[in-house]
Structure 1
């Protein structure tokens, strides 16, 4: 019991501390400003135009004003005090009617087009001509690209067809040799003799005529269709069951 009381005595030290007065709440030392925040300004200086650009801009503004005045003067009718109007009246012109004999001419004056470029009559604006040249160049490139693609496609198609003919020829030639009872050993001997001679034989070019000759021989002599892969019992069975002599017929 004495030990428990000693522990309680040492644990509760707040009883021996004097009461401390309550302090007022601390306020922030920073003062709140009602002024709007200052935004960062750019250090870049406005671009100044050189004398050539200033002169060009001034000339464009002056031309624009002149064009507006010209168009406004064109829309207004010619006064009767004009010397040209007086000359027309002396030649029989009546205001509001067409020019020419019996009023067969035009009633309205010929329209004008204000041109500021240095090109002669019939010449378009340089920027318009440049755009047209660019458009023609793009069209020409597209046409050339299309022609190249067509040429490439036809060349690949021709190459594929040639390989197909060669493959079918050698396949039919092998079947024909088997049906005729030819031995492949004899071909190998012939090949050895050619190698012994040392003469280079040019590679034979297989054509569609060569393939057709092999196919006809298989059908006429052995009633065999290469693309059906079958030897028929009779010519009548071959003609009635085989769709045709070519591979496309199958």
Structure 2
């Protein structure tokens, strides 16, 4: 390498390049140093006119009145002191009347009407929700009653079969009440009774007695039909517990009343759950 040519890896060659750096977008070294020496300036945020007015208004409302205010000066001349209520008894307003600035283009009374409509809609929603809750509650009650009735009907059939078996074991030919035994057994008994009644009616001497017996039976049937299935079930299970010490939900015939009271939870299906 000749002495006239500079070494492009030397420090002198690199410094010369830095001074004469003219790459696009960078500018000269002098321009770069000048830009770096200037402090960064944060641009002031642009505040809108409405926001500026609101800021000044809030500032003015938060500032107490001074004696420079003409109205306040007149009050002071009449004996008013800051913090006192206006009026003869000093029980009137202490703070000035608040202002409400209307910034939109709606007519007078529009906001009041809107609030009235919103309140009316809220009342209708509350009324509708209450109605729906009442319907749901009544539906649940109806379903619960229907479920209870089905369970009572099923338990009543079970109790009737148990009563029939226990009564026959004791040699009873008739139940204490017609609903104590299943309807099929009652139908057989009614057929036999109809035959006996026909034979009785053929006897002229016994017609008066038969008519009297019919009236008594009709009264008994009317008294039976007055009971619902849950009521029949309660009456029949009490009969089984008191007479035979038997519980249909336990499915057990106990030795005595003490054993029944100690081992059986109670005379209902809910107590056995």
TM-score (norm 2): 0.48
Correspondences of 1:210-229 after superposition (within 5 Å): 210-229=232-251
Deviation at 1:128, TM superposition (A): 2.7
Q: Name the CA distance, whole Å, in 1 between partners of 2:137 and 2:257.
A: 43
Deviations 1:16-53 (A, max 9, x none): xxxxxxxxxxxxxxxxxxxxxxxxxxxxxxxxxxxxxx
* Contact 2:245 2:255 (C-alpha < 8 Å) held by counterparts: yes
Mark the runs of 5 or more structure 1 residues left unpaired by the alignment. 1-63, 195-200
Aligned to 1:245: 267
Question: Which structure 2 segments of 5+ residues have no match?
Answer: 1-49, 175-183, 196-220
Q: Distance in 2 between matches of 1:97 and 1:112?
A: 20
Partner of 1:159: 146
- Structure showing the higher helix proportion among its residues: 2
| Alpha-carbon distance in structure 2 between the residues aligned to 1:211 and 1:237 | 22
SS at match of 1:145: helix
Given the alignment of the two structures, is residue 178 of structure 1 paired with residue 165 of structure 2, yes or no?
A: yes
Q: CA deviation at 1:168?
A: 1.6
Aligned length: 174
Say whether the 8 Å CA contact 1:166–1:206 is kept in structure 2. Answer: no
Give the aligned partner of residue 148 of structure 1: 135
Q: Is the 8 A contact 2:250 2:264 kept in 1?
A: yes
Counterpart contact for 1:223–1:231, Cα < 8 Å: yes
Aligned residue for 1:38? none
Tell me the CA shift for residue 107 of structure 1: 5.3
The CA distance in 2 between the partners of 1:114 and 1:139, in whole Å, is 33
- 2:175 matches 1:188: no
Structure with the larger RCO, 1 or 2 (CA within 8 Å, 6+ apart): 2
SS in structure 2 opposite 1:125?
helix
Structure 1 residues 186 and 213, CA gap change in structure 2 (3 angstroms): closer
For the 8 Å contact 1:219–1:225, the answer to whether it is kept is yes
Measured in 1, the distance between the counterparts of 2:161 and 2:87 equals 94
1:21-100 equivalent positions in 2, closer than 5 A: 88=75, 91-92=78-79, 98=84, 99-100=86-87
1: distance between equivalents of 2:244 and 2:89? Answer: 97
Residue in 2 aligned with 1:135? 122
When normalised by structure 1's length, the TM-score is 0.51
